Amino acid sequence: MAIAASHLDGDTVGISDEVLLKMSKNIDNFGEVTENAQAATDFEHHMTVRQALRLYPKAIAFSAVLSLAIIMEGYDTALLGSFYGYPVFQERFGVRLRDGSYQVTAPWQSGLQNGAQVGEILGLMIAGILAERFGYKKTMLGALFMITGAIFLLFFAQNISMLMAGEILCGIPWGAFQTLTTTYAAEVSPIVLRPYLTTWVNGCWVAGQLIAIGVLRGLLGRTDQWAWRIPYAIQWAWPVPIIIGVFLAPESPWWLVRKGRVEEAKKALRGLTSKTDTSYSVDDTVAMMVHTNEHEKYVSEGVTYWDCFTGVDLRRTEIISCVWMIQVFCGIWYGGNVVYFLEQAGFNPTKSFDFGVGENALGFCGTLVSWSVMRYVGRRTLYLCGLAIMFTILITVGFMGIPNDGPAVLGWISGGLLMLFVFTYDITVGPVCYCLVSEIPSTRLRIKSVVIARNCYNIASIVANFLNPPILNPTAWNLRGKGGFVWCGFCLLSFVWSYFRLPEPKGLSAGEIDVLFERGVSARNFSKINADPFRSTNLKVAVDGQETQHIEEKS
């Protein structure tokens, strides 16, 4: 069966002749598979949010349950940062200062946070290998059982060194959660639901932070050891319901297609969808996955970490790595640490934690708001606007911090601006990042690419963990508000990179994104060029997997 290619206008690009011919030779019934794949792609492009909600209720539920694992990472991240301003924790694990107060020293603050980052780096690398070999479900279950045991070390810590060991061990399953939740969400959802399910991962991270700060605020009046042990123990509430959800969830159909298990992929897809829409075809959707997988095999044949740095995949790896590092370099380590910031500005712990609760509540609301905004605004536009606003806030806070003994109102205004900073972050850079890192990589290298990108984020976090504590700690630089000048420079560089290098994948299928990268379309032209993954740009077509021929344009 021949697949005819028509002349394509100047604003449309297709796949190369060589790749098209290789695909036709390797896929049985190539013409039928291509027709079905194109039908599935057209169906997804015309699908509304309401249709998708009716068709994919089980996919939404399973993805949302798996994403709850990120709550544990967000919870502990906020817990640790807030503990530095927590009187009982400071006295138990800190050192006494000349004025009689207690502080966890800046080196130990950096060490504890970096311990978790080191664990996450190891966990990500291990999860990337295991998930590609054994699938999402088995890897996720292993990580959940490990985190259940690792929490014991935090709960029974006798000194700060035990806390350090606990953070490293907990970081390993957290690293696995970071890649598995995002990629699973991307692989079980259609185009129209992709931004919602992937950004829900960020919502879970913010929810974890909100729960942590709320728990600490509720226990602020306690003066015994349970003031810091109870917050650690609460982490045991999450693994059991998530384990049940993972047991019930189908495996990723994209992963099954990559393994050549097409019939199992169809069965998994049936387990993710309902039968409410009679125009939907499981066979067509799996054909689209097969077509995309074969296309990517011949553009970049390998599925190793090294392949992420070769050919067209190098550019894709650069984009998602920088996008995730910008989550750090935009200044969120500084802007999101409002509790400790305000305590060093002279606020009492109760008022500081009240600000912290409000800040994280705003952050969670920001993620929900981003769902509405992303329906009408592209990822690139939202990302750039967020960076511009955050840069303005950071430089404003910096100027307000210049007077060393300024009026108290400056502290209130700075605290309010930092809350606005977090709200902006959680509408723009925070959630949009998760959407971008799931859309930009090829489907065959998605897990490996996300692992590399998230490890770049963790390395950037290590840098921030060394830089940010001295900015605020009274035993170190003690810059307080002037720290905004330090972080606004990083934020400006992030904006410049994003303007020139960040493409717009809104509304594109995986196959269409593959074509745009294969043909070298520039970042600023992604939304202007049409991509056709089913035809050749040079007007050559595959005929029965044996030869190519030119098709003349018919008027």
- Per the structure block, which two tokens stand in for 186? 């991307």
Inter-helix orientation angle 282-299/262-272, to 10°: 130
Structure confidence at residue 410 (pLDDT): 67
Return the sign of the alpha-carbon dihedral for residues 435, 441, 445, 451: negative
**Cα(127)–Cα(315) distance, integer angstroms:** 23
Beta bridge partners of 536: 15
What's the pLDDT tens digit per position in 404-463? 665 656 667 777 888 889 889 989 999 999 999 999 999 889 999 999 999 999 889 888
Residue 231 neighbours by CB under 8 Å, 6+ apart: 79, 212, 215, 216, 219
The reported pTM is 0.84
At residue 555, does pLDDT exceed 70?
A: no
Structure confidence at residue 488 (pLDDT): 92
Structure confidence at residue 467 (pLDDT): 82
For the chain, list the domains and their CATH numbers.
12-46+257-298+510-550 (no CATH), 54-249+300-501 (1.20.1250.20)
What's the pLDDT tens digit per position in 65-123? 999 999 988 888 778 777 777 778 888 887 887 777 777 777 888 788 788 888 989 99
Element (H, E) at 514: helix 510-518
**Position with higher pLDDT, 55 vs 548:** 55
How many percent of the chain have pLDDT more than 70?
Answer: 89
At residue 493, does pLDDT exceed 90?
A: yes
Structure confidence at residue 169 (pLDDT): 92
Mean pLDDT of 147-162: 89
What's the pLDDT tens digit per position in 176-215? 998 899 999 999 999 999 999 999 988 898 888 888 878 8
At residue 324, does pLDDT exceed 50?
A: yes
Mean pLDDT of 523-530: 86
Poorest-pLDDT segment among 298-307, 320-329, 418-427: 298-307
Structure confidence at residue 402 (pLDDT): 77
Structure confidence at residue 518 (pLDDT): 87
The pLDDT-based confidence of 542 (bands split at 50, 70, 90) is very low
**Cα(452)–Cα(534) distance, integer angstroms:** 30
Structure confidence at residue 2 (pLDDT): 38
